[in-house]
Amino acid sequence: MLLSTRLSQLRDDVGRRALATMNRGIERECLRITPEGRLATTQHPRALGSKLTHPLITTDYAESLLEFITPVSTEIETTLAQLRDVHRATYHAMGNELMWPLSMPCYLNEVSDIHLADYGTSHIGRMKTTYRQGLTHRYGAVMQTIAGVHFNWSVSDALWAILAERNGVKDSVEFRSEGYFGLLRNFKRWAWVIPYLFGASPVLCKSFLKHSSADFDFRELGNGMVFVPYATSLRMSDLGYTNKEQSALKITYNSLQSYVDGLRNAVFTRSENFASIGVREGDHWLQLNDNILQIENEFYSPIRPKRVTESGETPTQALERGGVQYIEVRAIDVNPFSPVGITAEQMRFLDLFLLYCLLSDSPELPVEAQQQTEKNVNTVVLRGREPGLQLRDESGEHSIVERLTLLFDELKEIASLLDGATENQENVEQQYTRALALFAPAISDPEQTYSARLLREYHAAVAAYQQLGMRLATDYKNELIETPFEYYDADYFAQLAAESIVEQEAIEAASEGTYAAFLDTYFARALDKKNAP
């Protein structure tokens, strides 16, 4: 069914309201740094509570790599207010430390400065740390200090009900999962759009290259920085978190079961390469196992189907049990032009883009075609602003200008519907149309992309003998710490911190048996299939 036909089914008030109601959440990563611009080697601030159990503030790979998580909300401004408050609370707990405002890390002196996140003595806490130890041995520690933004998103129950009813089918778990997997396939087809528009990592510190074997066309920028001339997102290149063994897995998005089976197979297939690391030396664990993936989370993808897991469940078991609940977009660089790494306009563009992927026809994506979509992403992250760049898809070769012009024309239709659904609300008129117009100049002018803008800012900073990253980090800290909480308050964060510490202590007290036995039980259960009701 054509996109225009689907949209015509949603033009009444009920349809437009259902379309305009979306659930969103943000996960933002960033490094803690010293006032001198080096990676912080201090422990996660005690005032923030337990990173194992805190619902809003945790860490990713490293002790210094913060991760902020907002709850699900249907309002973009609510999500951003929550995210700003989480930053405020963290700044108040950090003393004189700062948050690095870029995806690629700050100055890295020695690998030994990168401390693994420590989640305590419980079995589940040790498992999280062992997993990170395994990532270190498999891919190196430096790569794991790269930060990004994840955008969690789903449509309303009302929209699913309308789509089912107006197409003469039953609204079911299977119907929704099939719809989301159609979205995933279309996202793969168009995934290069995200690093083209929002990629913001064409530059990195030369200290990073001491620990990398990447052979890119690096040019000197000054101030100890290098850049790749037409790059958009070095974060998403081979410098970033990729697993060459994963490319042989051929995990596809043609059905929930094929995706689950492929992912689960990788967790239980031994890797000769990773087996050479060893799994444990006495009581010291080097990795969780020597399989292609230690756990499912290790699978790299710019987008994931998700469902909230129950206790002891793996992500694929949750999908089998209840189908796809939401999707997680992982292809977004930290926006250095925002104090919190993402803007409302970006979120509105993502709304439009994901609705386009959901509502457009999405035939199966054969392995070869999927591999071509990944080549397109690799081309754009390294050469996205190159004049005349061509990309190949199922219909042949096209320029970026041609593809983006076609896409934006379709997105305008969706924006018009969404703006119509909110036209009677104060201060929200034409917000989707305006967001689209904000990014439209980049279609024909790559200099309007985030990556080009950042490169210009760096050149200007070098000419003025300034450190751009440090200037932004200082400005953003001052901006947020000098403004009041908007959604939460300081007492709420103090309460969350205290409760998280109590919860971690309870988990540690309840851990019985040996750690090895716990892992054996976990992976034995991970083999179980969970059929949807």
Residue spans per domain, the chain: 24-384+449-526
Q: How far apart are CA 456 and CA 214, in angstroms?
A: 24
What is the predicted pLDDT for the residue at 428? 54
Low-confidence ranges of the chain (pLDDT < 50): 424, 426-427, 533
What is the predicted pLDDT for the residue at 1? 67
What is the predicted pLDDT for the residue at 456? 97
Q: List the one residue out of 478, 480, 457, 479 whose CA is nearest residue 468.
A: 457
Q: List the one residue out of 98, 93, 92, 90 whose CA is nearest residue 38.
A: 98
What is the predicted pLDDT for the residue at 427? 47
- At 405-448, the pLDDT tens digits run 999 999 999 999 999 865 545 445 799 999 999 999 999 999 99
Residues 211-245: b if buried by 16+ CB within 10 A, e if exposed:
eeeeebebeebeeebbbbebbbbbbbbbbbbebeb
The CATH number fitting domain 24-384+449-526, selected from 3.30.590.20, 1.10.3720.10, 3.50.50.60, 3.40.50.2300: 3.30.590.20
What is the predicted pLDDT for the residue at 533? 45
Q: Residue 254: count other Cβ atoms within 10 Å of its Cβ.
A: 18
